[in-house]
Amino acid sequence: MSAVKNGVTQTSAASHAPVIGGTRYKEVKNGILAALSAKEWKGGEAIPSEKKLSERFGVSIGTLRKAIDELVADNILVRHQGLGTFVAQHQRDRYFFRFFRVVRQDGDKTYPTVTHMSFARAKASREVAAALGIEPGARVFSFVNRLALHGETVMIDSITVAEERFAGLTEAALRERPSTLYNFYQDAFHINVVGTEERLRVVTANETDAELLDVPQGTPLLEVRRIAYSYHQEPVELRISHVNTARYEYVGPSASHEEPI
């Protein structure tokens, strides 16, 4: 009896997977992403073992592993042999240089010294609203950081986030954060930055730039416009950086391990 020779009829529905997708492992991947979005597991926490997850989603270990493989490739999960699989967490010594791409022209990488300059509530302009996926006029927080490398002021970051996603953010909390900004987003708001989009162009220093960077007004600077994304491409932060590249430079993409097209 039982005509099933091997495994399961792949075309049958996966009753345990909460989110549908073309294939079983995609369903599992989406299911895990959904659980992450629902904050079932937070930054740095371990997710259930492969055995348990394979039972939860009703798939074999191999299929479950393929789903996790992709989430690890996306830097959303981290595996530690013998320990478990964890929600990737931003740390000073981990992931930092994937998002901080300014180095000295001789190649020397160092952590920036951040000075908080200002903090304000404001209403989103049309441009800011489009970048953050919110309504024009919606409330946002804007703050400015000055970054120094090797003791030299190198760049100014102007950062904007939506108030609805960062409810209760205060200048004091920002000033007193113990680690990186993206780590702070995780710990205080359970917002996980997993990707960015950046566009670069040349601009000239305005009055504020000139003062903060200690360069003459009109000095050419590198402008980096970044949108940071959480799961499912949800935009969570707009950041405009002005970089003095007299002795520093920006490290571009490596064009391998890069998305197709």
- Binding a second copy by CB under 8 A: which of 4, 7, 199, 207? 199
The Cα 189–Cα 79 span in angstroms is 24
The Cα 24–Cα 66 span in angstroms is 10
**Which whole-number Å values give the CA distances from 231 to 3, 38, 216, 251, 258, in the listed order?**
41, 11, 41, 25, 18
Does position 151 bind DNA by CB under 7 A? no
Number of residues that bind a second copy (CB under 8 A): 40
- Choices 28-36, 148-156, 166-174, 195-203 (CB under 8 A): range interacting with a second copy: 195-203
Does position 80 bind a second copy by CB under 8 A? no
73 binds, among a second copy, DNA, none (CB under 5 to 8 A by kind): a second copy
Does position 94 bind DNA by CB under 7 A? no
- Binding a second copy by CB under 8 A: which of 39, 98, 150, 175? 98
Q: Locate tokens 């200690």: which residue?
A: 214
- Choices 1-9, 94-102, 144-152, 163-171 (CB under 8 A): range interacting with a second copy: 94-102
* Among 152, 171, 150, 143, CA closest to 239: 143
- Choices 39-47, 115-123, 150-158, 196-204 (CB under 8 A): range interacting with a second copy: 196-204
Least distance (Å) between residue 127 CB and a second copy: 12
* Among 115, 119, 114, 117, CA closest to 140: 119
Does position 151 bind a second copy by CB under 8 A? no
Q: What is the DSSP string of 177-213?
A: -SS-HHHHHHHHH-----EEEEEEEEEE--HHHHHHH
Q: Locate tokens 């490290």: which residue?
A: 251
Over the range 139-177, which residues count as b (16 or more CB within 10 Å of their CB) and which as e? ebbbbbbbbebeeebbbbbbbbbbbebbeebeeeebeeb
- Binding DNA by CB under 7 A: which of 32, 36, 43, 63? 63
H or E stretch including 139? Answer: strand 139-149
> Using CB under 7 A, which residues numbered 108 to 127 contact DNA?
none
**Which whole-number Å values give the CA distances from 26 to 40, 75, 104, in the listed order?**
19, 17, 42
Sign of CA dihedral 68, 74, 80, 83: negative
Does position 74 bind a second copy by CB under 8 A? yes
- Choices 43-51, 113-121, 168-176, 196-204 (CB under 7 A): range interacting with DNA: 43-51
> Using CB under 8 A, which residues numbered 103 to 122 contact a second copy?
105
Does position 13 bind DNA by CB under 7 A? no
- Choices 20-28, 31-39, 191-199, 225-233 (CB under 7 A): range interacting with DNA: 20-28
Least distance (Å) between residue 18 CB and DNA: 15
Binding site for a second copy (CB under 8 A): 73-75, 95-99, 101, 105, 194-202, 204, 220-222, 224, 226, 245, 248-261
- Residue numbers at the binding site for DNA (CB under 7 A): 5-11, 23-26, 47, 49-52, 58-63, 65-66, 79-85
